Amino acid sequence: MTVDELQQFLLDGFPLDPPAFVVEDIREQQVRLRLPISAFHGRPGGTVSGPILMSLADCAAWLAIVGHIGPVALAVTTSLHIDFLRKPALVDVVATATLLKLGKRLAVVEVAMVSDGSKAILAKAQVTYSIPPG
């Protein structure tokens, strides 16, 4: 799938409340996704909330899988483990999702998140998805 096709797939998947995620790039085993940050995403202390980062990781993993196998909307999360490594500033967060394993029924994706303009990883997640048969 192309960047535009993935972005449209994401918007079509959530027609009543489209997520603010922006698909920036897709490669053979990777997808890069941006979350434009606003005050809505913050929490006390001037940082991005953990649930927002978890949502970004989950969506990036889903799109990495869909970008590789095609538009399978019913692929679902079975596991998400995340490590918060640094306090993110209230700036855009960029997630790079890399396929580690793509089987017939399960896919495992690693997601590294950075604040825009930084190379330091602020959170890292490993996400497992169940892929429906057929």
Which CATH number does the domain housing residue 49 bear? 3.10.129.10
- The pLDDT score that the predictor gives to residue 41 is 74
| pLDDT tens digits, 72-116 | 777 889 999 999 999 988 899 999 999 999 999 999 999 999 999
Q: How confident is the model at residue 70 (pLDDT cuts 50, 70, 90)?
A: confident
Instruction: Please state the pTM of the whole predicted model.
Output: 0.91
Task: Say if residues 129 and 76 touch (Cβ distance below 8 Å).
Answer: yes
Helices 50-69, 3-13: axis angle to 10 degrees equals: 120
Any residues with CB less than 8 A from the CB of 98 and at least 6 apart, and which?
Answer: 29, 30, 64, 109, 110, 111, 112
Instruction: List beta partners, residue 43.
Output: 47
pLDDT digit string (tens) for 8-66?
888 888 877 777 899 999 998 999 999 998 777 777 888 888 999 999 999 999 999 98
C-alpha gyration radius of the chain: 14
Q: Which domain holds residue 122?
A: 3-130
Number of domains, the chain: 1
CA 131 to CA 44: how far, in whole Å?
37
